[in-house]
Structure 1
Amino acid sequence: MSEIADFLRARYAEVRAAAEAAAERAGTGDWRYRSGSDHVAAVQTFPNDVSARRELWTPLVTEAGSYIGDTIDDEIGNHIAAQDPDVILADLDAKLAIVELMDRTLAQPFAWHADHKGEEWAP
């Protein structure tokens, strides 16, 4: 196991811990954003409801300092919703699977980190 792979695993473990904490705090449901909305929500779907496919939208993130009726910019709302912990965890699993093959390249986004070895780890 290389030093770079160890470094990447440590950074991914930090991201995983944050995603798992967010998932625990938010509860179940996919993170979604509706264009023009004032929040990002965790959405639980109840497909067994015979009368209709019901969804429960639980607000997670609202624009700081907003008033009722204010909206989040679509770009920001979509980005926040894309940070759904399930998506982040799946992304981490995929990255860990290829760390050994491309560890130097994957370490570059963390060049700012104190444990990064700079030029020694350059691709």
Structure 2
Amino acid sequence: MTDIADFLRARYQERRVLAEAASPGPWHVNAEHDEVLATDGITVAEGFALSGRQLRATTEHIATHNPEDVIADLDAKLAIVEMHPPQELNEWDQRVYKLRYECAGESWTVYRDASEHVPYPCRTLRLLAQQFAGHPDHKGEEWAP
């Protein structure tokens, strides 16, 4: 996989599959803040091995990341990815040949001899990919923001 947009789509699909297979949301913590419950009353997670403050924070964190919210977040991120296709617009400058790139409102110019500039992926997609920097298909520095 070489394209950052395809990489992001694949990661989002993996997470969607997990969210869709999880207990139904929205999730909520019980009165004691030691369990996270699905809407059907099934215990999603228990925080019993944690200290009081950590337990409450952990169960609230888990409840906040219920499947419905995860899917909505993935849909929003996927919409951002779809807004950012690479588009190369060639321009001629009397001094040097240059390329101008535009991507969902971002625009930048790269001179043909400026090898230190990476025209695509745009910074927006590189920022979205940072979350998956440890994935074996991530391109590391090439995709760093």
User: Please, what TM-score do these two structures have when normalized by structure 1?
Assistant: 0.71
The aligned length equals 103
**Residue 60 of structure 1 aligns to a residue in which SS?**
strand
Q: Determine which structure has greater relative contact order: mean sequence separation of CA pairs < 8 Å that are 6+ residues apart, divided by chain length.
A: 1
User: Please, what TM-score do these two structures have when normalized by structure 2?
Assistant: 0.61
1:38-97, CA deviations, whole angstroms, 9 ceiling, x for partnerless residues?
3111136xxxxxxxxxxxx4322223669xxx9x71101101101110000000000011
Unaligned runs of 5+ in 1: 45-56
What is aligned with 1:120? Answer: 142
Aligned counterpart for 1:105 among listed residues 116, 127, 138: 127
What is aligned with 1:31? Answer: 27
Letter in 1 for 2:43: P
Higher helix share: 1
Any runs of at least 4 consecutive aligned residues in structure 1 with deviations exceeding 4 A, and if so which?
A: none
Percent identity (aligned): 49
Unaligned runs of 5+ in 2: 85-103, 105-123
Residue 63 in structure 1 maps to residue 47 in structure 2: yes
